[in-house]
A and B are shown apart, each in its own frame.
Chain A
């Protein structure tokens, strides 16, 4: 490949990364005598759609972790002792859905709720960015879901029309609650084959349910979870054996979700807070400022050192380092990487390592030149020789970052956020620095330093 072509490839990558790296809005002000620019540059979010098969959308904003943006990280342990082995997973999933539903009531943007199994203990990890009242959130999340079967209040005589919607206010409890309910599951109607939800009451509550459904035959029986109606079936026939189905124009998705909701009330899993990390947003913002400043100071020192020590070669290494920074930022936004404080440290550390490849090559170059080889030959030999050690050494670093990141979620290794954040930026740092330290520097040297 001709060098100019390679240079063009580098230019395209750099411009692309630069475009991605820019903040969403960038005011540009510039004036020189009569020539003035004063406008705001807007970068739209990225949307790529190739047919129906491939879709790639990114808003291209830096994602900040809880330690930088402020917020809470909560880990709950589910007490599944009283639940049979076969129902454990369903119960914990139902608990997770219940937590998710409650957090949505709080209106938290970008919250995540995940379950994990460590040994034989089920965990629910909750991340709440930017929540001020964590204590309120914790107590709300910690509550057990309340399932309540309710009937419509008798309509007053003067009312002309029946109510359009069931609400908590226009209904009253039938006395049948989550503690009477056994479990629900998504099923298919044996006759029509349509998706339905089948459920069972506890054997001791079957009589209670029979009485209620006999009394409410032909009338609606509204099911509420945490005071929110989730389904309002009409009782067509009394259910006397404690087993019933809810039919309707359901899709399979809907029956699954309804069964899950019913289970979250029926299989109450007590959860216990075992880890909490709450960072005030102001502390996070302070850390961001401090880290960026520290990074810039360190970078300036590295660039100065390289230029003072290696002269013209140092300038090229510094350009490569700048390109390294731009590409890294671009890739963080594209993946996107959730940037945490340890992640920033990983990035800053990898800047130091990125220069290493260049130092190795330049030292080799000096040696080759000292033997009296012409510049061109020396350069090519230096790259060739240095590559072996660069490759071997970087693979060791990649190995460590791999163990730290634990991409396979192996339960005997760390899965904690800060460790992963560090590993992710270190890993990317090594990979990108191989590209800029070898490919970019070599091309720049071949094109711009021919003497």
Chain B
């Protein structure tokens, strides 16, 4: 635990960057949250994305944004009143082989609802995990530190996507919410394994030993396991990111960021916080 300042500095830097990214750029929200329509076109052999845009301009449809998926696949955003008939009309104007691969439209009522439900889900999950950890380890201190570590991961994930949205135009959608909740549970999963080791060592070696010594021991014992476990998950996710379907690419990326951050945060955020808390408590008592 003697390198604690280094860990805090590292996490602090990441957090400052994330908060900066979030506050200055914000998240680029998909139609799930803002309402609107998204069309994915597969372009024919003779068609370019410039030609596609020409047709849209000539029809005076308000284009809200575009993302080039590949040289033959383009994703376009429109306001919510843009319906499938219009999308189809554009495709047929570009020739037989241009097709609408995907058409999604979300009304503004629904999108506001999704946003509200997201906050509720995050709240319930956090409180649930906090209570579970606090009860299982008979200590509020453990629960609070575990939740702080997961908040650390969530913030970094949000910051990463704020940056991705700013530089790459990557949007966050309802699947991103799923990713956040999964990262939340994975991060706690990892933290619990380390905590469990602390509890066990404490039981064996007596409660009087300073927590920092016990924590050091527990960390070195669980380090290989944490690393190996994350490695296997990273293997699966990397394969999925590189080779899986395009619609879940960024969802998988979010899980990947969360897994790496979650693995780091258990030994280097949750436990140092726990030790610092313990030291402060002892000082105050004295």
Contact of B178 among A294, A305, A404 (CB under 8 A): A404
A298 close to B238 (CB less than 8 A):
yes
| A residues 276-327 in Cβ contact with B at 8 Å | 276-280, 282-283, 286-288, 290-291, 293-295, 297-299, 301-302, 305-306, 309
A355 close to B229 (CB less than 8 A):
yes
| A residues 213-260 in Cβ contact with B at 8 Å | none
How many angstroms from the CA of A401 to the CA of B192 in the assembled complex?
A: 17
How many angstroms from the CA of A324 to the CA of B74 in the assembled complex?
A: 39
Residue numbers in A under 8 Å from B85 (CB-CB): 135
Residue numbers in A under 8 Å from B67 (CB-CB): none
Any A CB within 8 A of the CB of B225: yes
| B residues 237-274 in Cβ contact with A at 8 Å | 237-240, 242-248, 251-252, 255
Residue of B nearest to A395 (CB): B132
Any A CB within 8 A of the CB of B235: yes
Q: Mark A262-287, 1 if CB is under 8 A from B, else 0.
A: 00000000001111111110110011
Residue numbers in B under 8 Å from A273 (CB-CB): 83, 105, 107
Any A CB within 8 A of the CB of B141: no
How many angstroms from the CA of A320 to the CA of B104 in the assembled complex?
A: 41
Given A294-B243, A356-B229, A397-B189: A426 touches B182 (CB 8 Å cut-off): yes
We find that the number of chain A residues with CB closer than 8 angstroms to chain B is 74
How many angstroms from the CA of A249 to the CA of B83 in the assembled complex?
A: 47
Contact of B233 among A121, A293, A349 (CB under 8 A): A349
Q: Mark B188-201, 1 if CB is under 8 A from A, else 0.
A: 11101100110010
Q: Which of B9-17, B58-66, B121-129, B276-284 contacts A (4 or more CB under 8 A)?
A: B121-129
B104 close to A277 (CB less than 8 A):
yes
Nearest chain A CB to B212's CB is how many angstroms away? 21
B232 close to A399 (CB less than 8 A):
no
B178 close to A301 (CB less than 8 A):
no
Q: Mark A195-214, 1 if CB is under 8 A from B, else 0.
A: 00000000000000000000
Q: Could you say which of B102, B132, B178 has the most chain A C-beta atoms within 10 Å of its C-beta?
A: B178
Q: Mark A56-94, 1 if CB is under 8 A from B, else 0.
A: 000000000001000000010100000000000000000
Given A297-B239, A396-B129: A121 touches B109 (CB 8 Å cut-off): yes
A400 close to B233 (CB less than 8 A):
no
Nearest chain B CB to A304's CB is how many angstroms away? 9
Nearest chain B CB to A308's CB is how many angstroms away? 11
Given A135-B85, A359-B225: A389 touches B245 (CB 8 Å cut-off): no
Nearest chain A CB to B66's CB is how many angstroms away? 18
Any A CB within 8 A of the CB of B76: no
Residue numbers in B under 8 Å from A353 (CB-CB): 186, 189, 233
A291 close to B240 (CB less than 8 A):
yes
Nearest chain B CB to A328's CB is how many angstroms away? 14
Residue numbers in A under 8 Å from B245 (CB-CB): 286-288, 290-291, 341
Residue numbers in B under 8 Å from A422 (CB-CB): 175, 178, 182
Nearest chain B CB to A409's CB is how many angstroms away? 13
A305 close to B231 (CB less than 8 A):
yes
Residue of B nearest to A351 (CB): B236
A349 close to B193 (CB less than 8 A):
no
A294 close to B229 (CB less than 8 A):
no
Nearest chain A CB to B126's CB is how many angstroms away? 10
Residue numbers in A under 8 Å from B128 (CB-CB): 399, 403
B88 close to A135 (CB less than 8 A):
yes
How many angstroms from the CA of A286 to the CA of B175 in the assembled complex?
A: 20
Residue numbers in B under 8 Å from A279 (CB-CB): 101-102
A278 close to B193 (CB less than 8 A):
no
Given A274-B107, A341-B248: A397 touches B186 (CB 8 Å cut-off): yes
| A residues 1-58 in Cβ contact with B at 8 Å | none
A67 close to B247 (CB less than 8 A):
yes
Q: Mark B125-151, 1 if CB is under 8 A from A, else 0.
A: 100110011001000000000000000
| B residues 98-115 in Cβ contact with A at 8 Å | 99-107, 109-110, 113-114
Name 7 extra pairs, CB < 8 A, besides A67-B247, A349-B233, A399-B132. Answer: A356-B189, A363-B221, A393-B192, A396-B185, A414-B174, A422-B178, A426-B182
Task: For the complex of A and B, list the 9 residue pairs with the smallest distance between their C-beta atoms, beginning with the closest.
Answer: A287-B245, A352-B233, A274-B107, A298-B239, A400-B185, A298-B236, A389-B196, A294-B243, A393-B189
Interface residues of A (CB under 8 A from B): 67, 75, 77, 118-119, 121, 134-135, 138, 272-280, 282-283, 286-288, 290-291, 293-295, 297-299, 301-302, 305-306, 309, 341-342, 344-345, 348-349, 351-353, 355-356, 359-360, 363, 367, 385, 388-389, 392-397, 399-401, 403-404, 412-414, 416, 418-419, 422-423, 426
